[in-house]
Amino acid sequence: MCENSTSAVATIIDRYAGDADMLIPMMQDVQSECGYLPQTELKELSGLLGVPLSQIYSVATFYSSFRLMPKGDHTIQLCMGTVCYLKGADKISEAIQKEFDLVPGSTSPDGKFTYSPINCVGACALAPVMVVDGEYHGGLEPGSAVKLLHKIAEAGPADQAEKKPAAKKKTAKKKAAKKKAAGSKKK
Ligand code: FES
């Protein structure tokens, strides 16, 4: 696992005693091990379980929790609701897709971004709105949106960026301890 390991898929199938009715939990296990549902694993699942591949794909596309592509370092959700659309979200979408070689629902070839257009996120006053890694950015235009995404990509993957404040906290703690030590020396 992942991509091309029959034994790993077989292990997952064994976990559910080969019961084809447990297809969804099996697919969840594949995704939790691979981060998404690789084509190779789905073919293995289909062959070993005797379930048509088309049925597996229809399950994978029906449930939004399943991913058929690896997730990028950052997730871009661009609001295409009426207000955002009227304020130029379509132009932003075009610019992002061109700049990062994306199509809706895909991950960029460099693995940095996963892009999905979404419906109104309830922040119409900020339109057009783009949500990157859960953070709202409003009042954008094509150029500023692309610039913002380059900046975010330069800062590294979202999970690493999240770890930065914790490091700062440690430094602040150290500084406080130093100050305390300096204070006690003066006495
Ligand atoms: S239409 Fe985009 S936030 Fe409402």
Per-residue pLDDT of the chain (187 residues; tens, 9 = 90+): 676 555 689 999 999 999 999 999 999 999 989 888 999 999 999 999 999 999 999 999 888 778 888 889 999 999 999 999 999 999 999 999 999 999 888 899 999 999 989 999 999 999 999 999 999 999 999 999 999 999 999 998 877 655 444 444 444 445 445 555 555 444 4
- Cα four-point dihedral sign 134, 77, 33, 154: negative
Could you identify the atom of ligand 1 that is nearest to the CA of residue 79?
A: 2
Burial of 115 (0-12, 13-18, 19+ CB in 10 A): buried
For the chain, which residues make up each domain, given as ranges? 6-62, 74-159
Could you identify the atom of ligand 1 that is nearest to the CA of residue 123?
A: 3
- H or E element that contains 179: helix 158-186
The residue whose CB lies within 8 Å of the most ligand 1 atoms, and thus the one to mutate among 77, 86, 92, 121, is: 121
What number does CATH give the domain 74-159? Answer: 3.40.30.10
Query: Measured between alpha carbons, how far is 58 from 149 in angstroms, rounded to an integer?
Result: 33
My answer on whether omega of the bond before 2 falls inside 30° of 0, hence cis, is yes
Query: Measured between alpha carbons, how far is 57 from 106 in angstroms, rounded to an integer?
Result: 16
